[in-house]
A and B are shown apart, each in its own frame.
Chain A
């Protein structure tokens, strides 16, 4: 019995991590307004497909 987890040491080393620019874009308002529209359109398309 032991107290351990898979991370963060090893797992974090091998996990894909976003660049600083990508992290910045995640809360950059103009880009997120664009993503808001894109994501909503994609969801609506998927919902339409699911209902039909």
Chain B
């Protein structure tokens, strides 16, 4: 949308996405507890792109031919149609500039038994969330009938990200159980790969209050304690059998946790996109990191946590191999985690992956678009705009229960996302901008954000004035 707004009509902007519907994913949490429907969080992409003058191809990219072919050197991507009429048909789509913004592949397969096709539920897509809401309704009926049930919410692998979404679902579920009058019959357990609560994959936060600076861990734990939600930290789920999760904790001990209802998020990996050179040889490992995310202008040299620096993080999101290719949002390969990675005595890595969704994704997308516009207009051959996660902040509003009067949400801000201990000694962040509080004001902000970002995504008048 930003490219279309800034480029002349002599340029064509093409969006390739396998989805017919756009999904405001943060509100899937509310779909997952039955407060919203699929229609509340989705809309048809076709009419929006048509209105903007953007060519829309309902397909997924499967092969990247950045050098073209021997007989046709222009770069192209091979796309595979996903619409009902042409499903599976392949086409070649030429490009001058390419932005890889695929988002993540939900890697449920990393943990046996994880996911809606296994033994747990999810809210990662609207279809998953709808299914989860139905299961929750059944569970609430069982509680009303006198059963005692265990609800397990959290992350389904040691390398998951998006702990905030699990946090939101746990507290919205707990809130709905209270509303239904069955809370005392339910045991709610938060099972997370974070070494401590409040880590959120960003190595936690220090918060300045009116009287002292406190670790975000205390803020998070106080909420869990107040709501009576139990927690297990530093957990790598090894497998999920019907009604029982097997997990290993940081001390290397193996545990099981019985459940009646489990919503566990999967780890992410890059989309299944293969890179080929002009002769057709596979060069995927040169363009993508082993986790499937695209290599960009980051420092990927392996180094210990103590040697991580803000400068490791990418600024332009340009592929080092192909200057006309960029990766935005989740699709770029981070140089390393943000949280300290930990290994159990059994050698199991339990390391929350860095979050790149939400505000960072939006800012990166806009930055990449502006750089491409500059390059097309000939101002420079190199990207002109930068946006490192080590110099940008993030605002996160995590719902803790939705209701106009009694609903609350945790409003969190941090600056920068990636701690910079050279610039901000001791805490790594500017404590003026690193804050957290919970209250109904947060819930109202969350509701406004839902409306505002759907408005923006639908490209309604003045959409571009709404900041990411």
Contact = CB atoms under 8 A, between A and B. Distances in A.
Interface in A2-45: 2-8, 11-12, 15-18, 23, 25-27, 29, 31-33, 35-36, 39-40, 42-43, 45
A16 B222 contact: yes
B72 to A, nearest CB: 40
B393 interface: yes
B441 A39 contact: yes
Contacts, number: 110
A31 B246 CA distance: 44
Interface residues of B, number: 45
Secondary structure call for the B interface: mixed
Contacts of B392: 50
B438 interface: yes
A29 B393 CA distance: 29
Interface stretch (B18-26, B273-281, B404-412): B404-412
Nearest to B400: A26
Contact of B231 (A3, A5, A42): A5
A17 B20 CA distance: 46
Contacts of A35: 437, 439, 441
B231 A26 contact: no
Contact of A26 (B218, B221, B408): B408
Contacts of B214: 16
A3 B203 CA distance: 28
Secondary structure call for the A interface: helix
Contact of A46 (B189, B391, B395, B468): B395
21 contacts: A2-B256, A3-B256, A3-B257, A5-B232, A5-B257, A6-B232, A6-B233, A7-B225, A11-B225, A15-B218, A15-B224, A16-B214, A16-B218, A18-B222, A27-B405, A27-B439, A32-B440, A36-B445, A39-B411, A42-B435, A51-B363
Interface of A: 1-8, 11-12, 15-18, 23, 25-27, 29, 31-33, 35-36, 39-40, 42-43, 45-47, 49-51
Interface of B: 189, 214, 218-219, 221-222, 224-226, 228, 230-233, 246, 254-258, 359, 363, 391-395, 405-406, 408, 411, 413, 415, 433, 435, 437-442, 444-445, 467-468
